[in-house]
A and B are shown apart, each in its own frame.
Chain A
Amino acid sequence: AQKVTQAQTEISVVEKEDVTLDCVYETRDTTYYLFWYKQPPSGELVFLIRRNSFDEQNEISGRYSWNFQKSTSSFNFTITASQVVDSAVYFCALSEASGYSTLTFGKGTMLLVSP
């Protein structure tokens, strides 16, 4: 069965600090997809990134970067020079290519960025 673990329940940083959110996954499939979503206080989940299991290239989008390592089954998310607007709950999720490709979510990491 697939599983996603986000061991950090809550992280507090001061603005301009860099912060890394950890995500470890378990799956028996060789083809799978990993996602990160942001949930601001308003509640709606905002899609950030999707990565497939055959693409281990790291990705950078502005202040956001993602490090995918199949050897450690991890898909970590780093925010550089954090800002107050980054305060939210961040979810990592996994989808397998077999079956109907439903998402399995981690329990989320709450990030608090203070001025």
Chain B
Amino acid sequence: DGGITQSPKYLFRKEGQNVTLSCEQNLNHDAMYWYRQDPGQGLRLIYYSQIVNDFQKGDIAEGYSVSREKKESFPLTVTSAQKNPTAFYLCASSTPGQGEETQYFGPGTRLLVL
């Protein structure tokens, strides 16, 4: 079955620690996205990538980093510079386009700070 997988489902971070969230898709989509969801805040865009080896900052990129070495994979690193990382993180993918493409989402990773 085609889809998007995210791992782990739950992740715990200690103070000053970098952690990496995994996102893999087998939908053959060129574009991938990372969103952060806080209670009552909706989804906010962290980073997105339209093609391999290229990515752009979203609205709240500070304290996060990404890489896009393979079409199928778009890992997100939450660095120690992110002072309030506790949130639900959602990865999405789509075909590239001019706004009409539908984004499909993974099951999410919940990050908690110890």
Q: With the chains together, A43 CA to B102 CA distance in Å?
A: 18
Decide yes or no: A35 and B99 within 8 Å by CB, A102-B33, A106-B42, A107-B42 being known contacts: no
A102 and B100 contact, CB distance less than 8 A? no
The contact string, 1 if C-beta is below 8 Å from chain A, for chain B 81-114, is 0000000101010000111111111111010000
- For residue B48, CB closer than 8 A to chain A, the reply is yes
- For residue A68, CB closer than 8 A to chain B, the reply is no
CB distance from B110 to the nearest CB of A (A): 8
Interface magnitude class on chain A: 20 to 34
A45 and B105 contact, CB distance less than 8 A? yes
A107 and B40 contact, CB distance less than 8 A? yes
Interface positions, chain A 79-111, Cβ under 8 Å from B, are 91, 95-98, 100-103, 105-108
In the complex, the chain B residue whose C-beta lies closest to that of A29 is B99
- For residue B65, CB closer than 8 A to chain A, the reply is no
B42 and A100 contact, CB distance less than 8 A? no
Q: How many residues of B contact A (CB 8 A)?
A: 27
B56 and A44 contact, CB distance less than 8 A? no
CB distance from A109 to the nearest CB of B (A): 10
- For residue A9, CB closer than 8 A to chain B, the reply is yes
CB distance from B61 to the nearest CB of A (A): 12
Q: With the chains together, A43 CA to B41 CA distance in Å?
A: 15
CB distance from A20 to the nearest CB of B (A): 19
Q: With the chains together, A43 CA to B88 CA distance in Å?
A: 9
Contacts of B92 in A (CB 8 A): 45
Contacts of A64 in B (CB 8 A): none
B42 and A43 contact, CB distance less than 8 A? no
* Minimum-distance CB pairs A-B, first 6: A101-B99, A45-B105, A107-B42, A97-B99, A95-B99, A105-B42
Using a CB–CB distance below 8 Å, which chain A residues touch chain B? 9, 31-33, 35, 37, 42-47, 50, 52, 91, 95-98, 100-103, 105-108
- Give me 5 A-to-B residue pairs in the complex whose CB atoms sit less than 8 angstroms apart, sorted by A's number: A45-B92, A97-B99, A101-B98, A101-B99, A102-B58
